[in-house]
Amino acid sequence: MTQLVNALVQELRERELLLPIWGEGEKVVLLDQTRLPFKTVYLEIYTVVELCTAIKDMTIRGSGALGLAGAWGAYLASLKNDNLEAFQRDLAALKATRPTAVNLAKTVDEIGTDLDPRQFKEQVVQRLIDIVHRQLNFELALGEAGAALIHDGDTIMTHCHSGALAGAGYGGRALSVIRRAWEQGKKISVLVNETRPYLQGARITAWELKRLGIPFTLITDNMSGFCLEKGMVNLVVVGSDRVARNGDLANKIGTYLHALAAYDNNVPFYTATSSHTIDLNTPSGDTIPVEMRPAEEVLTLAGQPIAEPGTKALYPAFDITPHRLITGIITEKGVIYPPFEKNLVEIFG
C-alpha cells in the first residue's frame, strides 16, 4: 500500500503544486499553516489522534485541505487498525473535528462506506488516490470557469485564505480562479483582507500570491467597504466551507459584511466551490452549524495579549452569507447563477 501512496506523492511533486498534506510511508506530513509566513514548519503525524489535534488547532485548514486531511487520516487509520470497527471509530473522530466544513465529513464518509472487512486497507488506499486526483481536477476546472469572469486590468477582492494550502495544491477555490486568470496573461491585482483573528489573508493568501508573482495589496477587514465604495474593486471572489441548497454560503467570519458592501455598491460577489462542498441536504444557511472557537483566540495577536485581562470575547469561526447577496457560484461544472436552488439541484442533484 505504501508503494501506491509513494507513487501518488511523487506524481504530485512533479507538478507545480504547493501541497498542504501528503503521505510518506506510514506517516502523514503537513505544513503547519499557523507558523506562516515567517517559518516553514512541517509536522510528522503518526496517529489519527495527532491529526485530529492538528485539524482542531487549524494547523491545516480550508475546505479542500480538510477533505484531504480526512482522506489521509483514513489512510493512517487503515495502517493502525486491522479491525474495521476500530477503523470506523477513528473516522468518527475525524468527522467531529470541524462541524461546519462539510467537505471533511463528506470525504470521510465516502472513504469509509461499503468497505469489505477483509480488504478495507486496499480499498482505502485506492479511494484516497481517487479523492486526491479529483480534488486537483476540481481546482483546475473551477479555475478555468472562474477566470472567464476576470478581465484584463481587474482588481479582485478576496477574504481569508482559499488557496493552494486550503486545497490540493494548485489554488484551492478562490485562488484557483485568480491564478488561472494570471496564467492567461491578464494584468490583475488582488485586494487581500487580513482576516482577523487568525490573519489567514495576511499570513497565507499574501504569501501564496507573492510566490505566484501576482500583485496584491493587504487591507484590514474594516477597509473593504471603503474600497468597494470608492470603485477600487471589480469583483469579489471568496471560497466556501459549505453551500446550502438555496445558495446560502458558510465561509470565514466577515464574509457576510464584505458581501453586503459589495451588494450595496453593485460589485459582483462570487464564491468558488466544488460539488463536494455543495450540501443539497442542507436547505438553507439557517441549518448550517457554526463552529464556535475559543474566545482566547480573539484576545491575542501573534501570541501577545491585546485586551485588558478578564475581557470577554466571542469567536464564531464562520458566518452565513444569504444567497440574495451572491452573484454566482463558481464550480468545476461552470458558474451557477440564480435561481440557485433550482439550478444547484438540477446540476448537482
Residues in the annotated binding site for substrate: 61-63, 98, 200, 251-252
Q: Are 218 and 206 in contact (CB under 8 A)?
A: yes
Residue of 142, 135, 149, 137 whose CA lies nearest to 106: 135
Side chain identity at residue 4, one-letter code = L
Cα atoms in the Cβ-side hemisphere of radius 13 Å centred on 147: 21
Instruction: Classify the C-alpha dihedral 177-181-183-184 as positive or negative.
Output: positive
Q: Are 237 and 146 in contact (CB under 8 A)?
A: yes
**Cβ neighbours of 86 (radius 10 Å):** 11
The single residue listed with the C-alpha cell 448550517 is 288
Whole-angstrom distance, CA of residue 249 vs CA of residue 81: 37
The single residue listed with the C-alpha cell 470575547 is 313
- 279 catalytic? Reply is no
Instruction: Classify the C-alpha dihedral 22-24-26-32 as positive or negative.
Output: negative
Report the Cα 190 to chain-centroid distance in Å. Answer: 18
Whole-angstrom distance, CA of residue 143 vs CA of residue 331: 8
Whole-angstrom distance, CA of residue 176 vs CA of residue 199: 20
* Active-site choice (57, 90, 152, 241): 241
C-alpha cell, 158: 478576496
**Cβ neighbours of 118 (radius 10 Å):** 8
DSSP per residue, 80-108: H-SSHHHHHHHHHHHHTS-SS-HHHHHHH
Binding site, annotated residues: 61-63, 98, 200, 251-252
For residue 197, whether the previous peptide bond is cis, meaning omega lies within 30 degrees of 0, is: yes
Bridge-based pairing state of the strands 216-219 and 189-193: parallel
Instruction: Show which residues are catalytic.
Output: 241
